[in-house]
């Protein structure tokens, strides 16, 4: 992930934690579902420890759906700017996230939005970017079901608003900063550039920190919207 928008998962073995940090309910859950992975021992100071034989660890993040639900207006705007930038950077690097629900993204302690659900990930160049065809008759126009053919790898960006824009604050921020997100042309543009061999540049830090902006003049920043710094 050269974009820096996907969460790293680190694999560890024989990880010891103070037993006092675990409540009884969690211990029972571990013993029920992963008994072979859990052991107990005494530390050098005599305290009890629980040892997990095999564990995957990710950095602690605030799920984006919770961030957007509980955040201030400024935090919601920052989250949406970052969410849109994250996906635009991923697809520019030929990574199509697949399931783009907010719950599959997290906000780091630095306010950066990253993706952490890889179940449906695929190359953008393998996707068929399509527009929803115009209905041919009144029955299709009034249908509550998808009436057009959808083949494997077909994506319809204009339909994403159904599950992304339910909250009025989110909708306002989204349409203010990323209105092109729901336009198939934006997605096709990135696909065409990838197929032409273009390699996109990414900057994991605020563009104002780039030397070209701090010491140069007349240069333009990256194509993605600049997020406000997290509070």
167 is catalytic: no
Same domain, 39 and 71: no
The per-type count for the chain, helices as H runs and strands as E runs, is 8, 8
Find the catalytic residue in 1, 8, 99, 154.
8
Pairwise pLDDT comparison (214 vs 41), residue with the higher score: 41
Is 60 exceeded by the pLDDT of residue 229? no
Q: Collapse the DSSP code of 57 into the 3-class scheme (helix H, G, I; strand E, B; otherwise coil) and give the result.
A: strand
E-strand stretches of the chain? 9-18, 38-42, 48-58, 62-63, 105-107, 113-115, 128-129, 154-155
How much is the pLDDT for 121? Answer: 92
Is 60 exceeded by the pLDDT of residue 218? no
Which burial class, exposed, middle or buried, applies to 202 when counting CB atoms under 10 A from its CB (0-12, 13-18, 19+)?
A: middle
pLDDT category, 225, cuts 50, 70, 90? low
pLDDT, one tens digit per residue, over 22-38 is 999 999 999 999 999 99
- Rounded to a whole number of angstroms, the CA Rg of the chain reads 22
Same domain, 21 and 116: no
Pairwise pLDDT comparison (77 vs 147), residue with the higher score: 77
Same domain, 53 and 154: no
Is 80 exceeded by the pLDDT of residue 228? no
Bridge partners (DSSP) listed for residue 18: 49
Domain of 15 in residue numbering reads as 9-58
Residue 219 lies in a domain: no
Same domain, 74 and 173: yes
Residue 3 lies in a domain: no
Q: Lowest mean pLDDT of 60-74, 109-123, 127-141, 187-201, name the range.
A: 127-141
Same domain, 41 and 138: no
How much is the pLDDT for 227? Answer: 54
Q: Lowest mean pLDDT of 37-41, 57-61, 137-141, 225-229, name the range.
A: 225-229
How much is the pLDDT for 222? Answer: 45
Q: How many domains does the chain have?
A: 2
Q: Locate all alpha helices (DSSP H) within 50-108, ordered by sequence.
A: 64-70, 73-92
Same domain, 74 and 19: no
């Amino acid at each position: 992930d050269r974009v820096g928008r996907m969460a790293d998962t680190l694999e560890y073995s024989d990880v010891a934690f103070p037993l006092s940090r675990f409540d009884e309910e969690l211990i029972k859950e571990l013993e029920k579902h992963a008994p072979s992975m859990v052991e107990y021992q005494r530390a050098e100071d005599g305290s009890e420890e629980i040892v997990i034989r095999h564990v995957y660890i990710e950095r602690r993040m605030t799920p984006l759906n919770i961030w957007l639900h509980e955040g201030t207006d400024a935090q919601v705007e920052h989250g949406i700017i970052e969410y849109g930038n994250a996906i635009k950077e991923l697809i520019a690097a030929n990574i199509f996230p697949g399931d783009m629900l907010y719950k599959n993204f997290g906000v780091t302690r630095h306010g950066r939005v990253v993706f952490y659900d890889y179940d449906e990930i695929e190359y953008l160049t393998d996707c068929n970017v399509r527009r929803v065809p115009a209905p041919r008759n009144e029955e299709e126009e009034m249908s509550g079901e998808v009436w057009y053919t959808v083949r494997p790898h077909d994506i319809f960006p204009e339909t994403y608003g159904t599950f992304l824009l339910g909250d009025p604050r989110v909708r306002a921020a989204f349409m203010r900063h990323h209105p092109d997100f729901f336009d198939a042309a934006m997605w096709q543009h990135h696909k065409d550039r990838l197929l032409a061999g273009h390699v996109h540049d990414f900057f994991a830090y605020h563009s104002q920190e780039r030397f070209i902006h701090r010491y140069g003049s007349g240069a333009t920043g990256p194509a993605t919207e600049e997020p406000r710094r997290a509070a």
